[in-house]
Amino acid sequence: MTFAEEPSLSRRRKQTKRERFLAEMDAVVPWARLVALIEPHYPKGGSGRKPMPLERMLRIHFLQQWFGYSDPGMEEALYEVPLLRQFVGIDLGRDFVPDETTILKSRRLLERHALAPAIFAEVQAVLQEKGLLLQEGKTVDATWIHAPSSTKNRDRKRDPEMSSTKKGNQLDRLLTGKESVVLADRGYDYPQAHDTLAARGIRNAVARRRYPGQKTGLAALKRYNRAIARIRARGEHAFRVLKCQFGYQRTRYRGLAKNGAQLTTLFALANLYMLRRYLLAA
């Protein structure tokens, strides 16, 4: 009898956090709609070996986003962790486990056809249909994602598209024209941001800084910023999900295109995660 066949290990036990997480995400991700979106670009089976089922590869791709698996690490985990195989739909008795090359090719297909933005848009459409998408207001925030500076790679070079950066002066790029009000923290309290909102007729709810030497109106300033913070903080929740729930602390690929595709997918999944209670209750 092997370790996995030990009868005492198969008894029902407390549901783990990972089990609960995967059960919830399995229920809220619009699998059928995303598969239909990707299917026109996915390889068709010919006379040779049939490609892996599309939904199975999509589930594997999302597992990598949620748990930070590399391609080789994902292959190993599918062999080692029954819970992940169950989520993906693999039975070792009859199904092949995709190797790391197959997993890599599947991700590159999504990148090559720019399907990450399409996935994000499809998720947004689902949320809008459920009445969960904010249309006329917008909360704006930014966060740092570090890029590895190591030169321990094939080219012995740092990512050529990696550079130092600073926050600010990006507000106009984030507006769609549908907003009636914009909320943001004090990082957006600069003249260009205020001018942009005024020119577009958008209500300005940007938190204000205390300027050097300011001695009057401090109590009112504090009340104003606190009132805005209660609503504005929701814009930070997506960053918390990415960094704390999904463990996305550093960029995982080289180049803006690959990292941009991953971030777009991560935010789509983060939106589903943050609204999972409402989606499950619908």
CA 201 to chain centroid: 31
**pLDDT tens, position by position, 171-213:** 888 888 888 899 888 888 888 889 999 999 999 999 899 888 8
How much is the pLDDT for 88?
97
**pLDDT tens, position by position, 74-129:** 999 999 999 999 999 999 999 999 999 999 999 999 999 999 999 999 999 999 99
CA 40 to chain centroid: 24
Residue carrying structure tokens 């180049």: 255
Residue 2: pLDDT over 70:
no
- Extract the tokens encoding 68: 């930070």
Average pLDDT, the chain: 87
How much is the pLDDT for 148?
72
From residue 179, give the alpha-carbon distance in Å to each of 7, 90, 126, 138, 228.
Answer: 59, 45, 20, 6, 16
Residue 7: pLDDT over 70:
no
Tell me if the pTM is above 0.85. Answer: no
Output the DSSP codes for 51-66: PPPHHHHHHHHHHHHH
- Extract the tokens encoding 33: 């709609």
Per-domain residue ranges of the chain = 15-113, 134-252
- The packing angle between helices 31-38 and 54-67, to 10°, is 110
Q: How is residue 190 annotated by DSSP? A: S
**pLDDT tens, position by position, 148-167:** 765 555 666 666 766 666 65
From residue 145, give the alpha-carbon distance in Å to each of 108, 119, 162, 263.
Answer: 22, 22, 11, 10
Show the DSSP H helices in 136-255 as ranges: 191-199, 218-232, 234-240
CB atoms within 10 A of CB 183: 24
How much is the pLDDT for 22?
97
Q: Which of 139, 136, 138, 140 is nearest to 180 (CA)?
A: 136
